[in-house]
Structure 1
Amino acid sequence: MAGPTGVAVVPPLPPHGEGPAGDGAIQKALEAAWPADLSAGDEQQLLAAGRALVRADATGYGRARWPGVFPSAGRGLAPAFAAGRFRIQAAIARGDAGAGRAVVHLVWAGAERGGTYTDGRITDFYFTRTVSKGVPLWTPLPPT
């Protein structure tokens, strides 16, 4: 959304600890700050993968699906966050300006093993376009 000067107006963010009630405002702020630039199909594919990746990263569940991203999967590493106390607050997928890549930007909340619950955590996953059996896919890049 644009203000009177044509500059994007970012909606106010909810206070930390607002809970799920504030997630919509965070989503709107992300969308206003970073306009969409991918096809709907690419965005949906990237968002699904990004959500699964951040869940696997935080909770440990599903890491084996991406050995290139999580090379230590299955080696007995305890997850840092409780699976039952994890949620994605907002997510967007955008092109990475001329790099032939895309980025999924996620804001999430979770309870650490010690019970401390924190929201507003930010994670980015980068993807590159690949083709498998003639079908274009987005493949996550290993963390740098």
Structure 2
Amino acid sequence: MEAAWPADLPAHDERHLLAAGRSLLRADATGIGRTRRPDVFGPLKQVLAPAFAVGRFRVQAAIARRDGINGAVVHLVWAGRDRGGTFTDGRITDWHFTRTTTSKGVSTWTVRPPV
């Protein structure tokens, strides 16, 4: 992926976005951490059975790249074994982020909820 999509973000932004993207994917796939992110996953009124167990899920590759002027996308390729026991690798998930600046001039990355 690195050769096909060369790096275009500062290294510290890329590291931060990759960590955030992995965390969001883990929460989405395994359910762990969803309640801490109602801005992304919505209010969880009932406990949803996770599609993947923690030990049956892994990120195979990940990159973070620019997406427009104030945006970035974290592109993750991952593998997992679902509740039915079917293992599939090469799954793809993208998380999109927007760079915002606080009133104090601090720049942060904010995830855009999936549509």
Task: Settle same-fold status: TM greater than 0.5.
Answer: yes
Post-superposition offset of 1:130 = 2.1
Per the alignment, residue 88 of structure 2 pairs with 118
Percent identical among aligned pairs is: 68
Work out whether 1:40 is the aligned partner of 2:11. Answer: yes
Give RMSD over aligned pairs.
1.4
Which blocks of at least 5 consecutive residues in structure 2 are unaligned? none
Which blocks of at least 5 consecutive residues in structure 1 are unaligned? 1-29
Post-superposition offset of 1:74 = 5.6
Q: Please give the alpha-carbon distance, in whole angstroms, between the structure 1 residues aligned to 2:10 and 2:39.
A: 26
2:97 partner letter: F
Per the alignment, residue 139 of structure 1 pairs with 110
Q: Which has the larger radius of gyration?
A: 1
Per the alignment, residue 53 of structure 2 pairs with 82
Distance change in 2, residues 1:61/1:38 (3 Å)? same
Per the alignment, residue 65 of structure 2 pairs with 94
Tell me the SS of whatever aligns to 2:57. Answer: strand
Q: Which has the higher strand share?
A: 2
Q: Deviations over 1:31-85 (max 9, x none)?
A: 0111110000100110000000011110000112221110043621111111111
Tell me the SS of whatever aligns to 1:109. Answer: strand
Tell me the SS of whatever aligns to 1:114. Answer: coil
Q: Deviations over 1:108-137 (max 9, x none)?
A: 000101111110000000001123554321
Query: Are the aligned partners of 1:64 and 1:74 in contact in 2 as well (CA < 8 Å)?
Result: no
2:83 partner letter: R
Q: Please give the alpha-carbon distance, in whole angstroms, between the structure 2 residues aligned to 1:101 and 1:143.
A: 14
Query: Are the aligned partners of 1:107 and 1:121 in contact in 2 as well (CA < 8 Å)?
Result: yes
